[in-house]
Amino acid sequence: MSEDLCRLSVVLKHSPVSDPPILGISISDTGVGSCLEEFKDLRYSRDWASFEKWASRGVLFHDLKVKLMDGELSVTTTSICDREIHHYHLNLRESVPTNMLTELPSKPKNGAKFSGTEISLSTFECMDDLLAEITHFFRKVGCSIILTLLSNNAGELSKAG
């Protein structure tokens, strides 16, 4: 098994005081970290075509097919070798057909060694619908992880025998 442990968290926050109610989604990955270049060229298009490269990395939003037409997306990422934590923002409500992430000021890591990525989104999606899709996604991913672990362990057992 790999020594690079990864923790994936998904947090949903509902804000009923706004009209219409806003749903906040935060997805964090503490794994080996993302390369900053993966996010620099991310563009938002209302037809999902420009998300294909990014979505192929396994980012949850594409699998869930969340309608991002009405929210804001922020990305915070750092790699183990980076000296800074990078922040980006994308306003999905703008009427411009194609947008790019806006780079925000980075924060120093002060010598700390860690990596990870957090993607946050605010949207007007129905929380119940989104929760059902996230549950389905994690069941699918969970089965995939278990099968990978079983095949890796079977390979190690056959080498030992």
Kindly give the pairing relationship between strand 22-29 and strand 84-91: unpaired
pLDDT (tens digit, 9 = 90+) per residue, 65-111? Answer: 344 445 677 888 888 888 998 888 877 666 554 566 788 899 999 99
CA–CA dist 22, 72 (Å, integer): 11
- Looking at every residue in the chain, the average pLDDT score rounds to 65
Greatest alpha-carbon pair distance for the chain in Å reads: 64
First to last CA, the chain: 18
The ranges of the chain with pLDDT < 70 are: 1-7, 19-20, 31-71, 92-100, 124-127, 130, 133-134, 137-161
**In the prediction, which pLDDT does 140 show?**
66
Kindly give the pairing relationship between strand 22-29 and strand 98-100: unpaired
Q: CA nearest 28: which of 116, 87, 141, 146?
A: 116
List of residues 6+ apart from 48 with CB closer than 8 A: 62
- Extents of the domains making up the chain: 8-130
CA–CA dist 61, 25 (Å, integer): 10
**In the prediction, which pLDDT does 107 show?**
93
Q: Which CATH superfamily is domain 8-130 in?
A: Histidine kinase-like ATPase, C-terminal domain (3.30.565.10)
**In the prediction, which pLDDT does 103 show?**
82
54, 38 Cβ separation under 8 angstroms: yes
